[in-house]
Chains A and B, each alone.
Chain A
Amino acid sequence: MSAVSEAVTSSAMRTREATVRRFALTDTIFRAATRASAILVLVILGGVAISLIAGSWEALSKFGLSFLTTEAWNPVTENFGALAPIYGTVVTSAIAIIIAVPIGIGIAIFLTELCPRPLRRPIGIAVELLAGIPSIIYGIWGLFVFAPFLQTTVQPFIINLFHGIPGLSSLFAGPPYGIGLLTSSLILAIMVLPFITSITKDVFDTVPAVLKESAYGIGCTTWEVTRRVTIPYTRIGIMGGVMLGLGRALGETMAVTFVIGNAHRISASLFAPGTTISATIANEFTEADGDLYTSSLVSLGLILFIITFLILAIARYMLMRIDSRTGA
């Protein structure tokens, strides 16, 4: 009797043991697979970075640090400097994010709090569709439709409006060419909008209903719930969306290439043509034939990596400070 039950238990134990061991093994394998994938991301960037450094060596060893502070970009005399593209990259991305973040979060709030239910999904998809339009289409649309529109209507109006106002008048100084820094920033804002919107909306949806309901329960308005509950709860997710957007804005090539004018100049006016790092690479890489010229273009790519690195570091630092202040 007891022997039988012992045998039964021990065989059950063995089966269980085997199952647990199998589970443990699968878990180890799965864990190893995820870890290997994470390391692969490092390896890829390492590879890209190495090929960038190797490619930019010639230019950097020739120009040294002056490469960062020189505004000139002259393929004829082979005198290259990165100041103008750095300026253009930072300015266009900054303006794009300043425009796109409030609008993106606004749309996400609209979709989660205000939008009539049947319209929610179509509008959400419509905004995401903005991300699905190939960047070259933004470029062509910007060049053939948007820039002429700005040139003939918006820009003359703004130039006249701010004429004579110190600061603003030089920020929006003519002539109205249509293409330039502001046009690029606007196009970039449109392009990063869906990234920010769709991610913000997704993270808004993850806020537990009980949190929001308790806030409503004590009499908060929709805005207060959003401002005090939803946004704080999801700020890391929102930050992720903004980072995705900023990443796209910094690196966006084709669309900007069409509408920025590729002028290696730094001018106070946002209507003036400028250039960004990726636009310069895209505009000139295919036709560059000298070794130093090619190397200088690759150096620009390396600098973009470093700029991204710095901006991300600053963003992380800010996020850490917010976290420590709120004690979350």
Chain B
Amino acid sequence: MRHFIRSAAVAIAMAAASALSLSAAMAADISGAGATFPYPIYAKWADAYKKETGIGLNYQSIGSGGGIKQIKAKTVTFGASDAPLKGEELDSTGLAQFPMVMGGIVPVVNLEGIKPGELVLDGPTLADIFLGKITNWNDEAIKKLNPDVKLPDQAIAVVHRSDGSGTTFNFTYYLGDVSADWKEKVGVDKAVEWPVGIGAKGNEGVANNVAQTGGAIGYVEYAYAKQNKLTYTDLVNKDGKKVEPTAAAFSAAAANADWSSQPGYGVILANQPGAESWPMTAATWILVYKKPDDAAATGEALKFFAWSYAKGDDMAGQLDYVPMPDAVVKSVEEMWGKDIVDASGKPLYSGM
């Protein structure tokens, strides 16, 4: 025991000493934190970027709220969020915001004999189901949309996210956009007071619960519906057209959006116009300081983002993400050249 205490004391002293000596050393690798939704693609890009340039960029998913808090606390080089910050908040904090990548959210169901894409729903019906107004699959509203489908007389089991999530934010934003009732009674946020249903943890939890429960309906990011081979439904979009959830339909929504209408490109892609647009498309944003304390790290981060815009499209496609339209990328890069500067006012980004 004496040896134990003595060696423990030595170890503490060593640990303390190494901590001291290390804090003197330079610590800054580029690190970013935030939204969970883009984590896989950022990890993929970072890995490929490191292989090409040797520069490691460490992104960790701690949630959008966490990402915003961390960039405000300046513990990371960049933050990431699934819900855009408002113009006044960007101004008051001195943050620049731009969209990085997109994805789609799809309704998934568990109904016997119904295959992916066979069922079609529209916004108001979806809102009424999640409001608990429509409780049975053979409800008139669903029948009207699906005259050729044999709908069972089965109670609808609503499955939603139990954790706060950007997916829920985009989903409730869409429901609020198409249903005044939803907006008034439930509202739009990353976590809401759900009128009905059961909460499941994460996209994977929702996917699993829907797969287990007969008559269930839920919403997940597209990649989860695809990987878990869930029965997704089609949706009727703003133009009244029936669309299938595909990468092309997600891109169409982004292409038809008016990105300059909001400060910091804060356009939410739910319910965008266009015949091809998937109504539940979602983007995710990056936050950096316009005048960062550590200009070198932010400069490196911008180089990484530029590289990802230029070379990351295929990788995004493989993981069921949708790259940003070229016009948006061009505008974002122009913004970098103008707005993001070092202490002397010199732009940190000057093209690849």
* Chains A and B in contact, CB within 8 Å: yes
Interface string of A216-248 (1 = CB under 8 A from B): 000000000000000000000000000000000
| Interface positions of A from 39 to 88, Cβ below 8 Å from B | 72-77
Known contacts A77-B187, A175-B157, A178-B209; is-contact A287 B164 (Cβ 8 Å): yes
**Is the beta-carbon distance between A287 and B193 smaller than 8 angstroms?**
no
Tell yes or no: B212 within 8 A of A by CB. yes
**Is the beta-carbon distance between B163 and A257 smaller than 8 angstroms?**
yes
Question: How many angstroms between the C-alpha atoms of A294 and B68 in the bound complex?
Answer: 12
| Interface positions of B from 153 to 171, Cβ below 8 Å from A | 157, 162-166
Interface string of A172-207 (1 = CB under 8 A from B): 000101110000000000000000000000000000
**Is the beta-carbon distance between B198 and A177 smaller than 8 angstroms?**
yes
In the complex, which residues of chain A have a beta carbon less than 8 angstroms from the beta carbon of B68? 289
Tell yes or no: A273 within 8 A of B by CB. yes
Question: How many angstroms between the C-alpha atoms of A264 and B189 in the bound complex?
Answer: 16
**Is the beta-carbon distance between B191 and A287 smaller than 8 angstroms?**
yes
Which of B57-65, B242-250, B274-282, B316-324 makes up part of the contact surface?
A: B57-65
A178, A287, A294: the one contacting B212 at CB < 8 Å is A178
The SS class assigned to the B binding surface is loop
Which of A96-104, A162-170, A278-286 makes up part of the contact surface?
A: A278-286
Tell yes or no: A144 within 8 A of B by CB. yes
**Is the beta-carbon distance between B199 and A143 smaller than 8 angstroms?**
no
**Is the beta-carbon distance between B199 and A263 smaller than 8 angstroms?**
yes
**Is the beta-carbon distance between A261 and B199 smaller than 8 angstroms?**
yes
Interface string of A146-157 (1 = CB under 8 A from B): 011001100000
B157, B164, B187, B208: the one contacting A286 at CB < 8 Å is B164
Known contacts A273-B198, A289-B65, A289-B68; is-contact A76 B192 (Cβ 8 Å): yes
Tell yes or no: A171 within 8 A of B by CB. no
**Is the beta-carbon distance between B198 and A151 smaller than 8 angstroms?**
no
Size of B's binding interface in residues, CB under 8 A: 33
Interface string of A275-308 (1 = CB under 8 A from B): 0000000111111110000100000000000000
**Is the beta-carbon distance between B199 and A262 smaller than 8 angstroms?**
yes
Tell yes or no: B190 within 8 A of A by CB. yes
Tell yes or no: A258 within 8 A of B by CB. yes
**Is the beta-carbon distance between B198 and A75 smaller than 8 angstroms?**
no
| Interface positions of B from 54 to 87, Cβ below 8 Å from A | 62-66, 68-69, 83
**Is the beta-carbon distance between B208 and A75 smaller than 8 angstroms?**
no
**Is the beta-carbon distance between A283 and B190 smaller than 8 angstroms?**
no
**Is the beta-carbon distance between A287 and B198 smaller than 8 angstroms?**
no
B65, B188, B201, B212: the one contacting A285 at CB < 8 Å is B65
In the complex, which residues of chain B have a beta carbon less than 8 angstroms from the beta carbon of A144? 208
User: Which B residue sits closest to A262, measured CB to CB?
Assistant: B162
**Is the beta-carbon distance between B212 and A151 smaller than 8 angstroms?**
yes
Interface string of B185-209 (1 = CB under 8 A from A): 0111111111000111100010011
Tell yes or no: B136 within 8 A of A by CB. no
In the complex, which residues of chain A have a beta carbon less than 8 angstroms from the beta carbon of B187? 74, 76-77
**Is the beta-carbon distance between A286 and B198 smaller than 8 angstroms?**
no
Closest Cβ of chain B: how far from A72's Cβ, in Å?
A: 7
B162, B163, B191, B205: the one contacting A75 at CB < 8 Å is B191
Known contacts A284-B163, A286-B164; is-contact A76 B198 (Cβ 8 Å): no
Interface string of B35-55 (1 = CB under 8 A from A): 010000000000000000000
Tell yes or no: B213 within 8 A of A by CB. yes
Question: How many angstroms between the C-alpha atoms of A185 and B293 in the bound complex?
Answer: 48
User: Which B residue sits closest to A143, measured CB to CB?
Assistant: B205
**Is the beta-carbon distance between B213 and A258 smaller than 8 angstroms?**
no
Known contacts A73-B193, A76-B193, A148-B212; is-contact A287 B64 (Cβ 8 Å): yes
Known contacts A286-B164, A287-B64; is-contact A75 B190 (Cβ 8 Å): yes
Closest Cβ of chain A: how far from B171's Cβ, in Å?
A: 13
B62, B191, B194, B209: the one contacting A179 at CB < 8 Å is B209
Closest Cβ of chain A: how far from B118's Cβ, in Å?
A: 25
In the complex, which residues of chain A have a beta carbon less than 8 angstroms from the beta carbon of B213? 151, 177-178
**Which 9 interchain pairs have the tightest Cβ spacing?**
A286-B63, A287-B164, A76-B187, A262-B162, A283-B163, A289-B65, A287-B65, A284-B164, A287-B190
User: Chain B interface (Cβ within 8 Å of chain A)?
Assistant: 36, 62-66, 68-69, 83, 157, 162-166, 186-194, 198-201, 205, 208-209, 212-213
**10 more CB-based (< 8 A) A-B contacts, given A178-B209, A283-B191, A288-B65:** A76-B188, A76-B192, A177-B157, A179-B200, A258-B201, A262-B201, A263-B198, A286-B65, A287-B166, A294-B65
* 20 contacts across the A-B interface (CB closer than 8 A): A178-B213, A257-B162, A258-B205, A261-B162, A261-B198, A261-B200, A262-B199, A263-B162, A263-B194, A264-B193, A273-B199, A283-B162, A283-B191, A284-B191, A286-B64, A286-B66, A287-B64, A287-B66, A288-B65, A289-B190
